[in-house]
Amino acid sequence: MCRKCPWRAYPGAYLGLGSCRARLRRRKAREVGNAAAEANSAHVEEETRVERWLDRAIDRAATPRGGAAVIAAITTVATVVCGLLMTAIDPKNFTTVGLGLWWAVQTVTTVGYGDVVPTSTAGMLVAALVMLLGLAFLSVVTAAITSSFVAQAAERSRRTGDGNAPATEYDVRSINERLDRIEVLLRESRA
């Protein structure tokens, strides 16, 4: 926690890693040498809880696995909120909160049994939002898993040295120099 602003902690402050985000931004700005970023990183008093929560979520999403965790958390919260909202918007078809939540879960997972469907315009808009949220969740999780597989394969290839990377100009020059030395040795051995 920061002594200047104890109510504001960045992710990792609970580990005793330092002070507030404003100081971290100033430090990063000094490292980069960006005067505009340093000027914009002044201590902000008007930051809301939601903004701080979003800042922490974005900080956690620096890796594919972290991004997937953030998207999963947001999708879970949005599913519950949309299920509750659907119960309030379309009480004729969604008579209980459990039914609204059931509908939201089956819709966000793209199963959609069709046993309960919204009939009001507002309900259909919420349904469209939940469907898009489900598709976004599936694509982000798929991308995160794929990128981790690609990163693992690249790391394995780098460690073992069996990568099939194209030859660089340096590689070609060193091969040519080596061939020239071999040709000289062959000529000397024949003479």
Alpha carbon distance 128, 8 (integer Å): 36
Type of residue numbered 114 = G
The C-alpha atoms of residue 174 and residue 56 are separated, in whole angstroms, by: 49
What's the Cα-to-Cα distance from 126 to each of 36, 113, 123, rounded to whole Å? 41, 17, 5
Q: What is the chain's pLDDT, residue by residue, as a tens digit (191 residues)?
A: 444 444 444 444 443 444 455 555 555 555 555 555 445 555 555 778 878 877 777 776 667 677 777 778 888 898 999 999 999 998 898 999 999 999 999 988 878 788 888 888 898 998 898 888 888 888 877 887 788 788 877 777 777 665 566 667 888 888 999 999 999 999 999 87
Euclidean distance between CA atoms 82 and 18, whole angstroms: 38
- Please report the pLDDT score of residue 7 as a whole number: 44
Q: Residue 143: which of 63, 76, 58 has the closest Cα? A: 63
Tell me how far apart the alpha carbons of residues 36 and 116 are, in angstroms, rounded to a whole number. Answer: 53
Per-residue model confidence (pLDDT) at position 50 = 79
- Cβ within 8 Å of residue 30, ≥6 positions away: 38
Return the pLDDT at 19.
43
pLDDT of residue 2: 47
State the Cα angle at 131 between 127 and 133, rounded to 5°. 115
Q: How far apart are CA 88 and CA 99, in angstroms?
A: 12
The CATH number of the structural domain formed by 61-166 is 1.10.287.70
Residues of the chain with CATH 1.10.287.70: 61-166
